[in-house]
Amino acid sequence: MLKHCRQFLKAGIIQLILTASFLLVVAQQAGENQLSVVGQKQDGAFQLVAGKKAAPVYFDTADAMVVQIAAKAFVNDVGLVSGITPSLAFSTGTPSYGVFVGTIGQCAFIDHLIKNKKLNVSSIKRQWERFAIAVIENPFGRTGKALVVAGSDPRGTAFGIFELSKMMGVSPFCWWADVVPGHKEEIFATKGKLFSQPPSVKYRGIFLNDEDWGLQPWAAKTFEPETGDIGPKTYAKVFELMLRLKANLIWPAMHDCTKAFFTIAGNAKVAADYSIIIGSSHAEPMLRNNVGEWNEKTMGHFNYLTNQQTIDKYWEYRVKESSGINAMYTLGMRGVHDSQMEGAKDPKEAVPLLENIIGNQRNMLARLVNKNVETIPQVFTAYKEVLDIYDNGLKVPDDVTIVWPDDNYGYIQRLNNENEKKRSGASGVYYHASYWGRPHDYLWLGSTHPSLMRSEMMKAFASGANRLWVLNVGDIKPLEYNIEMFMEMAYDASPFKDSRYPKKHLLQWASSLFGEPLADMITPVLWEYYQLAFERRPEFMGWSQTEPTTKTTYTNFNHFYYGDEAQRRIDRYEALEQKVKALRTKIAPKDAEAFYELVYYPVIGASLMNKKFLYRDKCYFNAQQNRLSALDYAQLSLAAYDSIVQETNYYNNQLSGGKWKNMMSMKPRELPVFLAPALPQVTIDSSQEWGVAPEGFVKKDSSLLKGSNNLKLPPFDPLNRQVYFIDIFLCESKTLDWSASVSDPRIRLSKTSGRLTPEFGQKQMRLYASIDWTKAPSNKMLAGQITFTAGGKQVLVQVDGADLRLSENYQGFIENNGLVSIHASHDSRLMNKGSGDWHLLHDQGYTGEAMQSQAVAMKDTLHLSDTGWIHQNRSYIEYNFYSFSPADASAIVFTLPTHPFKNNYSMR
C-alpha cells in the first residue's frame, strides 16, 4: 500500500479511501403544529392575559405532584412575562374558562373532556412523555373556553406546561442564567392544537460531576447553607431546569466533597415530586456512592472476590431503600471512585467475575424490587477498562441497556454491531461536555463544539443508540448552551440530521434570548469562540497534562512562519473581545446578567487564557532574539491573568447581586495551566541597539542579527503571491528612527520608515514585504535585498523568488515552497458509487468543512492495495496538485480523532 501511495504522490494525485465511518439516517417526524402563543388577539384565540387580567390555572390534586409543581412554575412564568400572575387552584369540577392542565386518567376534567369528545388524545394516550395542547370552545357544555394541556403521563403533562412557557418566551435557563423574557402586555394562545411527537431518546439525563469548585461550594455556602451541601433545595432547581429541557434522568453529584444523594434528607423525595428518574454513574453500581459511602476501614476492601458478603449487604440496603422510587440501576462493578475493579489481573480474567456480579445484582432486584426483573430499568456502562472487559466476551443480559461512552473528549468510542442492535435493552451514550482526568481536564468553560456534538450523537442515534443519553455537565454553569442543545437533540433528533443545523440552532437560541438583531451579531461571536476552542481548548493552552501533572511549556502555535500563527490566533481572540465588549453596551438592562453569563464571560475568559500563554511565549521567543519588546509581552501576559481574576471575582461577587457567589472557579484543581504565568527571566544585550527578524528567522543566537548576510525571507513566486512579515526592534532603551530601501523596484514594503521608542508597545514594528509580479520579466529569477538603516548601522534582508508558470488549462493546487495544503472539501473529483459514499460535513473541523465517508466494510483485504479495483468498486476522492520540487513527497492527512464505530472495524 505504501508503494502505491508513493507512486500516486509523485504523479500529483492523492486518493483518500476510508473504510469505516457511519451512515446517518434519521427519520423525519411530521406532526400537527397549529397552536402558537402570540402577543395580539386573533379570532378564536384564548386570552391568557388581556385587559390586565390573567386566566386562572387549574389542576387536579389527584394528579401527580410534578403537575402541580409545573403549574405553579407556569403561573410565575406568566407573571414574569406580563407582570400579572394568574391564580392557581385545584379543581375536580368544570369551570367555564381557564387553563386546564392534567394527566390522562389522573385528572377529572381532562378525562371529562375526553369522554365528551371535546379532546381527542388517541394519538398520545398510553405513550411515553407525550402531550397535547389545545384551545377548546365551550369545553364543558356551556359558554366558555379552555386552554388545555393534557399529558400521556405526568412528565408529559409537565413537558406540555413548560412548552407553553417556552412559547411565551421563557427560556429553560430563566433562573439558572438569569434570562428575563421580553415583556408582553397581552398573551394569547391561537386556536388549534399541538401534539408532541414521541421523544427521539427515551431516557435523557445529566450527570452532575466534578462539582468541587462550583456547584457544591455554591450550594453549601450561598444557596443552601442550611444543608451545607447539594440538598433538596438545590436539586429542586436542578430538576425544574431538567423538566424545562424535557430531561428525565439524573446521575447525582458524587464527589467526596458532596454527601451521597440518598444520605441527605429530602433529596429522594424531591426527585419523586419532580418525577425525575434517579440513576447513577458508571462508577456507582446499585445507586451507591462508593466515594462517600464505602468505608474501607470498617468494611474492608471493595473486592468482590474477598469481600462479597459485605458488598452484597451494602448493595441490598440501597436497593431496599430505593425499591419504591423511580430508579434506574447501574449494574457491574468498578473500583472506588472511577478506578479499575479490584480482584482481576486483566480484562479476560474479569469476565467471569463481572458476570457473576451482574447475576447477583439482578437477583437482588428480583427479590427486592420486582420479580419480573426485566421490567426494571438497568444499564451497563462500558466506560474505560470496562469496555475492554466487555470486548473480551462479557455477556450482558439482553434487557439491560448498554451505555457506550465517548473518549472523554467528545468522540464516541464504540457503537452497536449488528447483534447489539437487536438487543431488547437497546443502547445509549454517556457523553462529556466537562471532564476531569488524564491527560487533561476541561472543567472551567463550556467549549465543546456544537457541530462535533451533533456529528457524534447523530452517529449514535443512527446506529440505534437511542434508549439513553446522559451528558456530563460538570457544574451546569457555564455549559448552558451545550446542555440545551444536547437535550433538544435528544428530545427531537430530526432537524439535527443536517450538518448545517447547529449554526441555525445557535442563532435561534440567541434570538430567543436577546432578540434577532443582536442574535445576528452574537451568533458569529459564539461560533468563532467554539471554533477556536475546537482547535485548542482554553484549558489546554499550557501544553501540559495531569495525572501526572506537569508544568506548562511553550506553545506549538508557530511564531515565525505562516504569517505568525500565534499572532493570528491572538488577533482572532482580540476581534472577539472587541465585538463582545461592543455588544455589551447594546444589551438591554434586563438582559445584562444573562449576556454576561452566556456570552461575555466565556468569550473573554477564553481570550484572556490564550493571551496569557501566547504573550508569555512571545516574551520568551523575543528574549531569545534579543528584543526589548519581550518586556512588553511579559506585561501583557500578566495583565491577561489579572483580568481573568477580575472577571471571575465579578462573576462570584457582583453578578446578579451575588446570586452566584462561589459558583465560578478560574482554577479547578489548581492545575498549572490556571496559575499566573511563569515568565522567563529576560536579559537583553543593549550593545546591539536594534535588530531585524524576517519571517522564518528562528535563530536564538542574537549575534547573527548583527551581520548583513544571514537574514533572508522565504522565496516568493507569482502563483502563490506570498506576503511575508519583517520585524524591526529595539535592543536598547532609546528612541530610534529607521528607514528601509529596496534594491529592486518589484519589492514592495508596507512601511519604509518609522520610529521606535522605549514606550510600551512601541519597541518593535512589523512591516510586510511582497512582490509586484506585473513588472517582472517572464521566467526571470528575482534576487534582491531590503536594506534597513538606523543609528549609523545597516541590516540587509535577502529577497529571492522564481517566476513560476502554469499551463492555462491546469485546475488544482500548487506547491508553495515545498508544501501543498488542501482543504478536504476542495476536491478535484468526487466519485460516489453507493459504496462508502463521501459527503460534506458543514461547520466541522479546523477548516470549517470536512469530508466523511459513510460506513462500508471492505471484507476482502486483498483488494486494499489494488487501486484499480478501488476505482472500479468503491467511492473515492481525488485531489490534483502541481509540484515544482523534484523530490519524494510525504502526505499528512488530518482527520477528526473519531473511533471505529463497531468492534470488528478499524480505521484506515
Q: Is pLDDT above 50 for 749?
A: yes
507-554 tens-digit pLDDT: 999 999 999 999 999 999 999 999 999 999 999 999 999 999 999 999
Band of residue 864 on the pLDDT scale cut at 50, 70, 90: low
**What pLDDT score does 862 carry?**
59
> What is the Cα–Cα distance from 863 to 836, expressed in whole angstroms?
15
> For 378-415, what is the HEC assignment?
EEEECCCHHHHHHHCCCCCCCCCEEEEEECCCCCECCC
Band of residue 808 on the pLDDT scale cut at 50, 70, 90: confident
CB 495 within 8 A of CB 507: no
**What pLDDT score does 885 carry?**
86
**What pLDDT score does 710 carry?**
80
Q: Is pLDDT above 60 for 700?
A: no
Q: Is pLDDT above 70 for 777?
A: no
Band of residue 271 on the pLDDT scale cut at 50, 70, 90: very high
Lowest-pLDDT range of 83-92, 156-165, 222-231, 501-510:
83-92
DSSP H helices in 463-552: 480-491, 501-514, 516-535
Place of cell 412523555: 129
- Burial (CB count <10 Å: 0-12, 13-18, 19+), residue 658: exposed
Band of residue 859 on the pLDDT scale cut at 50, 70, 90: low
Distances (CA, A) of 179 to 170, 712, 800, 803: 8, 56, 59, 60
Distances (CA, A) of 65 to 59, 62, 153, 196, 319: 10, 9, 12, 22, 24
Q: Is pLDDT above 50 for 371?
A: yes
Q: Is pLDDT above 50 for 398?
A: yes
**What pLDDT score does 515 carry?**
95
Q: Is pLDDT above 70 for 704?
A: no
**What pLDDT score does 47 carry?**
96
**What pLDDT score does 709 carry?**
53
Locate 776 and state its grid cell.
Answer: 517582472
Lowest-pLDDT range of 100-104, 281-285, 434-438, 699-703:
699-703
CB 128 within 8 A of CB 206: no
How does strand 829-831 pair with strand 876-882?
A: antiparallel
Task: Give the chain's end-to-end CA distance (angstroms, integer).
Answer: 11
How does strand 782-790 pair with strand 838-842?
A: unpaired
Band of residue 503 on the pLDDT scale cut at 50, 70, 90: very high
**What pLDDT score does 464 carry?**
95
**What pLDDT score does 23 carry?**
27
Q: Is pLDDT above 60 for 702?
A: no
Contact residues for 648 (Cβ-Cβ < 8 A; gap 6+): 605, 664, 665, 666
Q: Is pLDDT above 50 for 433?
A: yes
pTM confidence score: 0.93
In the chain, % of residues over pLDDT 70: 93
Band of residue 2 on the pLDDT scale cut at 50, 70, 90: very low
**What pLDDT score does 252 carry?**
97
- Burial (CB count <10 Å: 0-12, 13-18, 19+), residue 906: exposed
**What pLDDT score does 335 carry?**
85
Lowest-pLDDT range of 151-165, 375-389, 486-500, 854-868:
854-868
Q: Is pLDDT above 70 for 855?
A: no
Average pLDDT in the 591-602 region?
98
**What pLDDT score does 858 carry?**
55
**What pLDDT score does 17 carry?**
33
Averaged pLDDT score across all residues of the chain: 92
How does strand 782-790 pair with strand 793-801?
A: antiparallel
Instruction: Give the amino acid at 406.
Output: D
